[in-house]
């Protein structure tokens, strides 16, 4: 029975990823989750008390995997500048991944304070990965530099997600160039 519940919970999370990826937070409804999984709507409530709870669990499951991929790319890079570049490139490479799209699609406004804090902490952990590389490059305020660098990444993510006129490769190259020129400065 526990294994069956785990499978259904996994199916609900996968359906939530798809819905968020396809239509953003508006698409993530309990009736839509029920339709996607073949469960009764009342069954969805047995697993999650609210949309915010679904989103919170998605973040708890998906964000560490995504962060580990960024961390791995940085570990493979040689030298602080290459680590910064890997940090930017890997995040932008993950934009098309449904796990990433689900995390990006989340509207902080509809989450409760505890969920927003968990997401903020997870994001802070991601930003913390690049602080050491920035310190190694001689930045006197590496944490601030990391947060500003992440702002460039977030803007590039939004640009790619929106399907902007520019090719995602061009957006990535522009973001990498801007970041590397900025961290050298």
**Distance between CA atoms of residues 167 and 147, nearest Å:** 25
- Which residues have a Cβ under 8 Å from the Cβ of 49 and sit 6 or more positions away? none
Percent above pLDDT 70 for the chain: 89
pLDDT in tens, 44-79: 999 999 888 888 888 888 888 888 999 999 999 999
pLDDT number for residue 55: 82
pLDDT number for residue 161: 76
Distances (CA, A) of 37 to 17, 19, 49, 145: 12, 12, 17, 44
Model-level pTM?
Answer: 0.78
pLDDT in tens, 133-144: 999 999 999 999
pLDDT mean for each 10 residues of the chain (185 residues): 79 90 83 94 91 83 87 96 96 77 57 73 84 94 94 88 80 94 76
Q: Which residues of 96-106 are buried (b: 16+ CB within 10 A; e: fewer)?
A: ebebbbbbbbb
Which of 104, 88, 77, 86 is CA-nearest to residue 178? 88
Could you tell me if 12 and 44 are in contact, meaning their C-beta atoms sit under 8 angstroms apart? yes
**Distance between CA atoms of residues 125 and 37, nearest Å:** 33
């Amino acid at each position: 029975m526990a294994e069956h519940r785990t499978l259904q919970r996994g199916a609900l999370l996968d359906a939530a990823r798809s819905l968020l990826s396809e239509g953003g937070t508006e698409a993530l409804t309990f009736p839509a989750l029920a339709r996607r999984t073949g469960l009764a709507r009342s069954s969805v409530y047995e697993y999650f008390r609210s949309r915010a709870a679904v989103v919170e669990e998605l973040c708890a499951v998906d964000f560490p995997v995504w962060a580990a991929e960024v961390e791995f790319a940085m570990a493979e890079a040689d030298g602080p500048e290459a680590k910064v570049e890997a940090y930017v490139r890997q995040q932008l490479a993950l934009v098309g991944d449904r796990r990433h799209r689900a995390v990006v699609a989340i509207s902080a406004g509809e989450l409760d304070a505890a969920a927003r804090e968990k997401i903020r902490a997870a994001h802070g952990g991601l930003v913390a990965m690049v602080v050491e590389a920035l310190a190694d490059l001689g930045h006197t305020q590496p944490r601030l530099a990391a947060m500003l660098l992440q702002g460039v990444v977030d803007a590039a993510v939004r640009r790619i997600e929106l399907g902007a006129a520019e090719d995602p490769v061009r957006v990535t190259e522009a973001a990498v160039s801007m970041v590397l020129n900025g961290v050298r400065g």
